[in-house]
Amino acid sequence: MISEIIQELDHIKANFETDSKGVDNDKDLENLRIKYMGRKGSVTDAFKYMGKLPNEQKPILGQKLNVLKTEIQDRLACIKQELEGQTRQKINIDVTLPGQFFFLGKIHPIMQILDEIKAFFMGLGFTVELGQEAENDFYNFEALNIPPDHPSRDMQDTFYLPNDLLLRTHTSPVQIRTMEKQQPPIRMLAPGRCFRKDTPDATHSPMFHQVEGLVVDRNTSFAELKGILLAFSRKIFGPETKIRFRPSFFPFTEPSAEVDIWWEDEKQGRGKWLEILGCGMVDPAVFEAVNYDPEVYSGYAFGMGIERIAMLKYKISDIRTFYNNDIRFLNQF
């Protein structure tokens, strides 16, 4: 009896294989499913033999039936997937059409230069400090040895906020904040926004960016400062760049200098010196404001305007173009 039933199952399987060959659409597939797996389908039907067998033979048949059932289910699922693939191909896109056009975001030129500057100094072991844009008189002026009658303290030049706060006019206050929270050696870079009450024109903007650098250690020297700034200028403006140190004055450095780069004008066939940054050896008065012993420590500092560097490097003549967000300008970088 059981061997006949098993033969019958083989039959069902063979029939299914023949029937499934011609299936090429969803409707045929559904009919095939109903014919074998539906409520009155051959596989479902075959389960009735279970009741006709003696108990000890039931597990043998049960296992055979289950195998057949899963085989047919798997095969049906397979055919379904194949059909889906085919319809997808029928309505499929023309792969030779040009792709859809989309815009990639870009990094603002100011941030590109800043990234370059940061990469250079971080390679020399500088850390990046952020400070804060709303400062008070002590950090922005007093601790930096800027005397009470200095013009930059004037209402005309500085944005004063309520509660004795002001918008920092340079990134130099970050020097003080960093020295207050840590002991030498210090090698720090402080990039950020600064604010001055300037009427906007081609070279002035009430908001602009600076990068500040500060090194404090036991044996620093002006020679080291010169070496670093020469390497820096060549990194940004090219390996042939010539620079000069011109004596200058800043209240927080002594001696102080401004650095110029030699700028060749290809069109006019002439060159000229253009200022790119201020620097100097940290004034002992600044060390005293943060309780560092000027007999033990020395240091150097420098500060530069990022817009100015970007304008020189990319030959941009109007600082306002950085902030207008004109896509035709920004797309060029």
Give yes or no for residue 301 binding ligand DAH (CB under 6 A): yes
Cβ–Cβ contacts within 10 Å for residue 68, how many? Answer: 19
- Reported in sequence order, the residue ranges of 137-185 that DSSP labels E, i.e. its strands, are 160-161, 165-167
User: What's the min distance (Å) between Cβ of 111 and ligand DAH?
Assistant: 20
**Considering beta carbons, is residue 84 or 180 the nearer one to ligand DAH?**
180
**Considering beta carbons, is residue 36 or 195 the nearer one to ligand DAH?**
195
Residue span binding ligand DAH (CB under 6 A) among the ranges 113-121, 127-135, 237-245, 272-280: 272-280
Give yes or no for residue 302 binding ligand DAH (CB under 6 A): yes
Strands 127-128 and 186-195: parallel
136-157 b/e (C-beta count within 10 Å ≥ 16 → b): bbebbbebbbbeeeeeebeeee
Give yes or no for residue 261 binding ligand DAH (CB under 6 A): no
Which of 72, 209, 303, 316 touches ligand DAH by CB under 6 A? 303
**Considering beta carbons, is residue 145 or 172 the nearer one to ligand DAH?**
172
Give yes or no for residue 278 binding ligand DAH (CB under 6 A): yes
DSSP state of 166: E
User: What's the min distance (Å) between Cβ of 296 and ligand DAH?
Assistant: 20
Which of 153, 168, 170, 209 touches ligand DAH by CB under 6 A? 170
Give yes or no for residue 196 binding ligand DAH (CB under 6 A): no
Residue type, 290: V
**Considering beta carbons, is residue 16 or 297 the nearer one to ligand DAH?**
297
DSSP state of 48: G
Cβ–Cβ contacts within 10 Å for residue 53, how many? Answer: 16
- What are 134's two structure tokens? 């709303």
User: What's the min distance (Å) between Cβ of 192 and ligand DAH?
Assistant: 12
Backbone angles phi, psi at 113, to 5 degrees: -65, -45
**Considering beta carbons, is residue 46 or 279 the nearer one to ligand DAH?**
279
**Considering beta carbons, is residue 36 or 302 the nearer one to ligand DAH?**
302
Give yes or no for residue 299 binding ligand DAH (CB under 6 A): no
Which of 279, 309, 316, 319 touches ligand DAH by CB under 6 A? 279
DSSP state string for 186-237: EEEEEEEEEE------SS--SEEEEEEEEEEESS--HHHHHHHHHHHHHHHH
**Considering beta carbons, is residue 192 or 303 the nearer one to ligand DAH?**
303
Query: Could you identify the residue written with the tokens 């014919």?
Result: 35
Q: Within positions 89 to 128, which residues make up the interface with ligand DAH, using CB under 6 A? A: none
- Reported in sequence order, the residue ranges of the chain that DSSP labels E, i.e. its strands, are 127-128, 134-136, 160-161, 165-167, 186-195, 207-217, 243-250, 253-265, 270-282, 298-305
H/E stretch holding 67: helix 58-90
**Considering beta carbons, is residue 36 or 250 the nearer one to ligand DAH?**
250
Compute the Cα dihedral for 305, 108, 188, 230 and give only its sign: negative
Q: How many residues bind ligand DAH (CB under 6 A)?
A: 11
What stretches of 91-221 show up as alpha helix (H) in DSSP? 109-123, 137-140, 173-181
Residue span binding ligand DAH (CB under 6 A) among the ranges 91-99, 102-110, 295-303, 322-330: 295-303
Residue numbers of the site for ligand DAH (CB under 6 A)?
A: 170, 172, 212, 250, 253, 278-280, 301-303
